[in-house]
A and B are shown apart, each in its own frame.
Chain A
Amino acid sequence: MVDNSLATKKFQKEMNAGTASLVLLNVLNRSKEPMYGYQIAKLLEENGPDLPLMKQGTLYPVLRSLEENGLLSSMVEPSVSGPPRRYYKITDEGQSALKEWLEIWKQTKKFVDTILKG
């Protein structure tokens, strides 16, 4: 028998790779204040507790690459307990990118739904 769980895991990973950037950008676009990694992870958990879609640790490298591409900006602030936190904020470029991404997402969703319904 073919190991389905491995294939499923791989599929899930590939799906996440695309959606994580969109989700993170959207979260930071809605938030009025800059947010740090743990805050974002908690927010996602509260909004979708039944969906263990992605491990929290995988959010950080995505945040990092979004920042590298100029869609987010970040700054480090010391915290009372533990190491300093990196706060992320969406940039103007990020906001215009998000608009385009949402459009792509809508089209993709519509397309996949239509095909799946047959």
Chain B
Amino acid sequence: MFNTTEEYLDALKIEMQGSDSALLQDALADAREHLSTALAVACEKNAELKEADALKIIVDEYGTPEETASAYKEVERRTSPSLKQTAAKPRSALGRFFGVYADARAWGALLYMLIAFITGVFYFSWAVTGVSLSASFVIFIFGLPLALLFLLSVRGLALLEGRLVEALLGIRMPRRPLFSHQGMKWFDRLKALVTDKITWLMLVYMIIQFVLGTIYFVLIVTVLSFSLSFIAIPFLQEFFDLGTLYIGDKHYFFPAWSYPLFVFGGFILWTIFMHIVCGIGQLHGRLAKWLLVTD
């Protein structure tokens, strides 16, 4: 029925159609690992065995693509990705508005946006250094292995980023690395990596992450300082006798009746921002899925 492992994987891909792309990638990685190990063992035992015949027995034990696909879908249905179950949302509009503080996803997204600043800087430097070193060393013999190592490292980083995105943003991402170009000579492997669209998309993500990470960081710091300043106005004026508003040489004090308004305003500002953070997290998750996961 199947002449090669790749044919089985293609059939599995068709059977998994409609399910999550990250789940598909995991299923393919597992099947590839099992089938090629079993095939290697079978060929070792009986060198004359044809690949197609050996594969028939192996697939018989492993299960048809249909059976395998349904097993994955079944298990996935029973387990949910991290943070998927968020706090039960209160019904009233007011409750929903302030309920954001009890929403693990909002805090996860906030943490992710802070981390994105650091990872963004790292990804950007890694991508730029790697691309320019690889490109300029290509004229030397050792330039090609260097390029291969770099492109493989990009895949590794993409997997790592995916884990981070799933843990903090709750978007299902691959849990197994992509091992598509196995059993090739290293030069062919490099060629396959270079011509694979996903490698370049991953690189684009690494560059974009730098820009986005910076924007996220600036946003958080700005909104946080505004909110905290508003909340701090009464304390600064009453306890430290510091004027809040400076115009020319003179400084002005806000009247005492406005204190609750400032405190309330600062608090509301941060609450609204938490909702925005939640939205940004979801958008960023979608971007990550689009650029880091093969379809």
Chain A interface residues toward B at CB < 8 A = 17, 36-38, 41, 45, 55-58, 60-62, 64-65, 68-69, 76, 79, 81-86
Contact = CB atoms under 8 A, between A and B. Distances in A.
A45 B34 contact: no
B29 interface: yes
Contact of A37 (B30, B63, B79): B30
Given A61-B75, A64-B26, A65-B75, A55 B182 contact: no
Given A55-B61, A56-B61, A85 B33 contact: yes
A6 to B, nearest CB: 14
Contact of A57 (B62, B176, B179): B62
A2 B33 CA distance: 40
Interface residues of B, number: 32
B90 interface: no
Contacts of B36: 81-83
Interface stretch (B47-55, B64-72, B237-245, B256-264): B64-72
B103 to A, nearest CB: 22
B275 interface: no
B18 interface: no
A36 B30 CA distance: 10
Interface in B70-116: 71-72, 74-76, 78-79
B175 interface: yes
A111 B87 CA distance: 38
Contact of B31 (A57, A64, A84): A57
Contacts of A64: 26, 30, 75, 175
Contacts, number: 88
B38 interface: yes
Nearest to B31: A57
Contacts of A83: 29, 32-33, 36, 179, 182
Nearest to A16: B71
Given A64-B175, A82-B182, A38 B37 contact: yes
B34 A60 contact: yes
15 contacts: A36-B33, A38-B33, A38-B37, A55-B63, A55-B68, A57-B71, A60-B72, A64-B175, A65-B75, A65-B78, A65-B79, A81-B37, A82-B32, A82-B40, A85-B37
B67 A86 contact: no
